A = this chain, B = another copy of it.
Amino acid sequence: MAGSKTGRGNFFEDFRLGQELVHATPRTVGAGDAALYLALTGTRFALNSSVEFARGCGLPSAPLDDLLVFHIVFGKTVPDVSQNAIANLGYADCRFLAPVYAGDTLAARSRVIGLRENANRQSGIVYVRSTGTNARGEPVLDYVRWVMVRKRSETAPAAAATVPTLARAVPAASLALPAGLTFERYDYALAGSPNSWEDYAPGERIDHADGVTIEEAEHMMATRLYQNTARVHFNQHAQAENRFGRRLVYGGHVMSLARALSFNGLGNACKIAAINGGRHVGPSFAGDTIYAWSEVLERFEIPGRRDVGALRLRTLACKDCPAADFPDKDAQEKFDPAVVLELDYTVLLPRRG
């Protein structure tokens, strides 16, 4: 046991419905984070890469990659929410509410919106709505996450179960477009893809073709960049004793790799508007090679806009298995063993108008 000053995180019985958690370590982001994120993931979306391209899209500068923002906000919640987690069960209703620019300071807070003790009384499920804010206090990101958290004591009493109702997907009317964003003068050549919103059809499947092998140094640097302290990612000495015998790759790093790979075929899907749900189907480790493919679930208009449209995508990441044959669930809803991630999210693309 460490001394009492060493934070040990919250256990299931420490959470109360309606509780507000202020997470530590506000962080000013900037050019260094963007460069590192690029070097660690290989992302190539022009909107995040070029100040001039972003200005051509009506923004004051190049916003930070949406998933970089997600990971930084998520990382802040770890010490308070999931330090004693047995499993990250899911997230939903994640909306990107305002772009984040170099110089912005991100902070995070969470509200406990659901609690349900498990039958074995050794753990329970905690639902939180987490919000990332900038220095002006404006929300930049808002999402629900649920985790299975250990109890400190099996006999500790638990509150009555409360489980929030969550939509399957963020509705079009709830999507927040960045202030000023316009795709009226979108430069398809500089963006590197000729395909506009109209070119995609529900049911279409896209192999993202490339594969990228993960190194220990890379996933640890990425995860530290997000100040995510979950121990399973960093400590080989302790992990050697655990189930897998190895450090686990932060699932968010796989999300970022799959998103970067998706540039092959989705090069103009330059803005994530929402994450409808995500599931880390299997663990990833250093040495794994990640491939990805996507299915277009829906194509829908943004109310009042002719320059921009939305696609709801389902992107699957696979390890050590090319995605040309679209490895997926079988008829029994059992995933192909190569699949490690299923991500359901909504992206914005330019329309030809």
Contact = CB atoms under 8 A, between A and B. Distances in A.
A301 interface: no
A111 B38 CA distance: 28
A282 interface: no
Interface string A315-327: 0000010101000
Given A206-B6, A208-B6, A52 B105 contact: yes
Given A3-B207, A190-B22, A237 B320 contact: yes
A199 B213 CA distance: 47
Interface string A186-221: 000111110100010000111111111101111011
A167 to B, nearest CB: 29
A208 to B, nearest CB: 7
Interface stretch (A27-35, A89-97, A116-124, A176-184): A27-35
A132 B146 CA distance: 48
19 contacts: A1-B324, A2-B264, A3-B206, A6-B264, A22-B189, A24-B46, A24-B192, A24-B193, A25-B50, A25-B192, A35-B225, A39-B222, A42-B234, A51-B135, A210-B231, A212-B235, A215-B216, A215-B220, A235-B289
Interface in A248-267: 264-267
Interface SS of chain A: helix, strand, loop or mixed? mixed
Contacts of A266: 5
Contact of A39 (B225, B247, B324): B225
A32 B26 CA distance: 18
Q: Specify how many copies of this chain sit in the oligomer.
A: 3
Interface of A: 1-3, 5-8, 22-28, 30-36, 38-42, 44-46, 49-53, 62, 79, 102-103, 105, 107, 135, 189-193, 195, 199, 204-213, 215-218, 220-222, 224-225, 227, 229, 231, 234-238, 247, 264-267, 287, 289, 320, 322, 324
Contacts of A23: 192
A151 to B, nearest CB: 20
Contacts of A38: 224-225, 227
A32 B22 contact: no
